[in-house]
Amino acid sequence: MQQVLDLPLVLSSELCSGRVYIVVGANVGLGYEAAKHLVSLNSAKVIMACRNVTAGQSALETIEAETGKAGIAEMWELDLSSYASIKSFASRAVSSLSRIDAVIANAAVASDSKGRAEGHPLSVTVNVTGTFLLAFLLLPKLKADAARLETRPHIAIVTSGVGLMAKEKWLEIADDPIGKVDKLERDGEFLYSTSKLFEILVIRHLAPLIPVSNTGVVINMINPGLCKTELARNAPPAFREQLSQMHARWGRTAEQGSRTLLHGAVAGEASHGCYLDDCEIRESKVPDWVDDEEGKKMQKWAWEAVAHELEAVEPGCVTRILE
């Protein structure tokens, strides 16, 4: 059972002053609360990246009203289920933002195989390929900003502890994760948990390929814990009911969970490639099978699947981040 903790708020106005943050999925839940904290702490700019423009604008107005700080947050449209939308957003960010200090890749869905986008189950496209496409397109700018400003930008990818419990599910698709999951009929719980393990395996393989010593950029992964959010709004009724019962027993508030996201955005260089939980680096929670000999094979297969997909979508995007 997850213990509901009083997690620290690791950011301050001093740390946020002059800095620019992108929060993906900022109109609701963890992303909304993280964006609200960043605005209240006097960041220079907070980009609220939202699929639903109307909901995003409403969230922005609420944040401004509740914090009393106008002109900091901006709502930009971003639909992680659309590669075209991701490319448009990234192009705008690279060309118009003076700097990017952290990208908090928070958006995720839990949907069954009937929900599809870009030829794949929605959970795979949003949680995995769309998330990494955004990260790969923005990373060169973060690298340039790190060198120019002598800062340490972050890409913090929100994953989940359920991914670390999905080994048996993952073995069904491990050697061809995108190709095989495309052909399977599976429920939202299967697709969500395997998509989160997919993220973890890709980051474990990728981080050593892009060390902070070369890029100046930290990429890490965050487990916010079980939080009372609208994550399962697109999931089948049975999964929504199961999640509702879990929330009632030991769920954290979205505000508490958002503190883990903010920690990922500023955690030190030692967090590169690491699993963060309860606002600490918690590598002890990563099972041995993730990194043992067989785990390395799974990491490689996961990475190759994502790299192949995204090179086809945006030629050169993988090559550029490895240079």
Q: Which of 36, 141, 169, 196 is catalytic?
A: 196
Would residue 192 show up in a list of annotated catalytic residues for this protein?
A: yes
Half-sphere exposure of 181 (CA within 13 A, CB side): 32
Q: Which of 21, 32, 83, 192 is catalytic?
A: 192
SS (H, E, C) 24-82: ECCCCHHHHHHHHHHHHCCECEEEEEECCHHHHHHHHHHHHHHHCCCCCEEEEECCCCC
Residue 174 · residue 301 · CB < 8 Å = yes
Would residue 83 show up in a list of annotated catalytic residues for this protein?
A: no
User: With 0-12 CB in 10 A as exposed, 13-18 as middle and 19+ as buried, what is 82?
Assistant: middle
Residue 9 contacts by C-beta under 8 Å, 6 or more apart in sequence?
37, 259, 262
Distance CA 18, CA 42 (A): 8
> Catalytic residue positions?
192, 196
